[in-house]
Amino acid sequence: MVKCDNCGVDVPDSFELCPNCGKSLKSSKEKEEPSSQQSDLGRCEKCGSQLAEGVVFCPACGSKVTQPPKPEKTSQRFCSKCGQAIEEDATFCPECGANVFTGEDSEYNQINEDNRSFIEKINFNAIVLPTIVSLVVAIILSLIGLFVGFSWFSFILAVILSVGFFAGTIDNEANATISGLIVGIILGIIENPLVEFMFGAFAAGFYEGFFGGHLLVLTVISVIVGYVSNRYLKEYIINIAEKIGIPWI
């Protein structure tokens, strides 16, 4: 509808002259036009009258309004943390609760995570691959250390380096502690066999008689390192792991 400049009567947009006073409506239409370009989707296809949003029939001519199809979305957004498809205007992922822009857990998730008990946090599926890799690296470092220095300190350094890094890539400190426990126990069990592998049975017997076994020491150190690494150094370790392409990050 357009208001006539001369008499003030509301006239349908399809009229060129005011039916009340006969004055041209051209100047009135120019004043009514919005500054930005109008979309044809808001006008009646039959008479050209402006339509309110959601109307079914044109109030000027009574014809049924054809609703235009909604434009399809050309792009889909995904959570930067878990990869879940999300709505265009979403800030937090409906799947994992993380901020879709930063990947960080929401304050609510962080509070819930802190309130969970140690047992509730344990997820063995999350520690299988990091633990295997950590153990393999610990064995390799132990062999290198034995070759260089032939000392039981080789196993201590191997545990600190391997568990200290890979435990920091695990999702929480409970799983990191379990991973450290497993690596420490296994490395402690195979300590003497590794010495025998490197230097033979005689050297292994001398090593065991002189140094003894270190199963308990390696286990305790590995557990402590796993917890501390994940609890306090996780952010720094994750940054490094992402740069070198650790597959489970």
The verdict on pTM exceeding 0.75 is no
Residues β-bridged to residue 98: 105
Question: Greater confidence, 6 or 237?
Answer: 237
Rounded to whole angstroms, the Cα distance separating 85 from 75 reads 11
Could you give the CA distance from residue 12 to residue 27 in angstroms, rounded to a whole number? 14
Residue pair 145/154 in contact (Cβ under 8 Å)? The answer is yes
What dihedral angle (degrees, nearest 10) is formed by the CA atoms of 192, 197, 198, 201?
70
Residue 109's pLDDT is what?
Answer: 53
- 203 contact partners, CB below 8 Å, separation of at least 6: 195, 196
pLDDT of residue 69: 46
Residue with the larger pLDDT of the pair 207 and 26: 207
Residue 182 has pLDDT above 80, yes or no: yes
- Mean pLDDT for the stretch of residues 53-79: 67
Is the pLDDT at 31 greater than 70? The verdict is: no
Q: What is the pLDDT of residues 92-133, one digit of tens each?
A: 777 777 776 666 665 555 555 556 677 888 899 999 999 999
Average pLDDT, the chain: 81
39 falls in which pLDDT band (50, 70, 90)? very low
Average pLDDT score over residue span 221-240: 95
Per-residue confidence (pLDDT) for residue 241, from 0 to 100:
93
To which residue do tokens 């047992």 refer?
119
Contact 167, 178 (CB under 8 A): no
Neighbouring CB atoms inside 10 A of 116's CB total 12
User: What are all long-range contacts of 137-146, with beta carbons under 8 Å and residues at least 24 apart?
Assistant: 137/161, 137/162, 137/166, 138/162, 138/163, 138/183, 138/187, 139/187, 139/190, 139/194, 142/187, 142/191, 142/194, 143/194, 143/197, 143/198, 146/194, 146/195, 146/198, 146/199
pLDDT value, residue 102: 62
pLDDT tens profile 136-150: 999 999 999 999 986
